[in-house]
Homo-oligomer: A and B are copies of this chain.
């Protein structure tokens, strides 16, 4: 078993029969074989499997670009959407102080179509030294392309073309696409998104690593955690391999009619890890009318929101707790002379101990209420542990996708709204679809 991450599944035992678990185990072990042989659907997108090693080769270049950004900037604007920003944001927010950005503030843009947000952002940037990292394989995805067009013009007006070029880093395709063309013409420093890595699996490529290193996070530790986890996940013994356990329970619950998984983090800093997880699992499994619906809560916050439902609503859920075992937490409950609030029984104890009891109490309560739950325990809150966790989840969803009979590496459904949007906006080339849609809309 890994030292960085372990699975605890005692609160699942009531909900699944041994036969259900056995059948799931067989499917997951077969899926592991397919993944390791690289013979399954979408095997042209398995580059993510090797990134923990191959990414090391790029770290010197990443580190140098990151240091340059930190030296001449107060703010780094990361322009990207979906897999082009969620991995970086998940890692950065997991490992940063929530109130103190430690020298370089990282802000995000191009992840929606809100003009007011961009206008406010430019006001916010006015007095600050700004760098920008634009991340897009094609350079024509509407949201980041719109934001980049505006922010680039704003930077060129402010800094002039030459200085702007020094302040922009492009992460894009090696040879083709609009952003590659602009980067080459303008002389931006650039990094490559490999062809064999999909967006939601790209956190260990420069897509994630450049912003992560610029934010001052221990990027090397992150890769080390992923590398160690990679070794552990090669094993074929379910007792020693946490991904076989997690994927087995997921597969069994889904087939037993539990179509919703709630990932319940007990640490607010992990919020964007759960957002990243939702994309990874939702896009990989949610196709062909199948797949677990991924939802996330942040506890104990959401015990006072979604807790009632999970305890007592429709019994179509299972839960995965996400918790850090050893927190570097020196905040203790102080004693009070009056004890009006009745908390003196906790005086002198660490907040992390209270939080751990909340988690344990919740796990037992939800099990009793009919929501089985397993727990992913991270050893600590280091970059190494986060790296291990992300690689663990990437592997898990590959196994579950294969066991489900879908291609876990495509996302055909993401294109549908875009085509409709282009047609409605009158983009050249979409004239026929535009006519069809307008007819549909006016008929109602």
Contact = CB atoms under 8 A, between A and B. Distances in A.
A32 to B, nearest CB: 23
A22 B311 CA distance: 32
Nearest to A420: B361
A313 B293 contact: yes
Given A340-B181, A427-B345, A291 B313 contact: yes
B119 A182 contact: no
Given A81-B304, A351-B113, A428 B268 contact: no
A421 to B, nearest CB: 4
B413 A308 contact: yes
Interface residues of A, number: 131
B425 A354 contact: yes
A307 interface: yes
A145 B150 CA distance: 46
Interface string A19-31: 0000000000000
B260 A282 contact: no
A139 B341 contact: yes
B115 A336 contact: no
B345 A259 contact: no
A306 interface: yes
B418 A361 contact: yes
A351 B115 CA distance: 5
Contact of A149 (B142, B283, B333): B333
Contacts of A418: 361
A7 to B, nearest CB: 14
A228 interface: no
A428 B113 CA distance: 53
**Which of A179, A305, A364 has its CB near the most chain B CB atoms (within 10 A)?**
A305
A426 interface: yes
A299 interface: yes
A14 to B, nearest CB: 11
B358 A113 contact: yes
A316 interface: yes
Q: How many copies does the complex hold?
A: 2
Given A342-B178, A413-B311, A329 B115 contact: yes
The secondary structure that dominates the A interface is: helix
A36 interface: no
Given A268-B114, A420-B364, A289 B315 contact: yes
B309 A294 contact: yes
A300 B112 contact: yes
A314 B343 contact: no
A313 B285 contact: yes
B149 A124 contact: no
A187 interface: no
Contacts of A115: 327, 329-332, 350-352
A83 interface: yes
Contact of A299 (B112, B118, B368, B411): B112
A73 interface: no
Interface of A: 10, 13, 81-83, 86, 97-100, 111-121, 123-124, 139-140, 142-143, 145-146, 148-150, 153, 178-179, 181-182, 199, 259-260, 267-269, 275, 278-279, 282-283, 285-291, 293-295, 298-301, 303-317, 327-334, 336, 340-343, 345-346, 349-355, 357-358, 360-362, 364-366, 368-370, 411-414, 416-428, 437, 440-441, 444
30 contacts: A81-B304, A99-B124, A100-B120, A111-B301, A113-B358, A114-B268, A115-B329, A115-B331, A116-B331, A139-B340, A142-B354, A143-B300, A149-B341, A178-B341, A199-B304, A282-B306, A282-B313, A287-B312, A290-B313, A293-B309, A294-B309, A303-B417, A304-B414, A308-B414, A345-B427, A357-B424, A360-B424, A361-B422, A364-B441, A369-B413
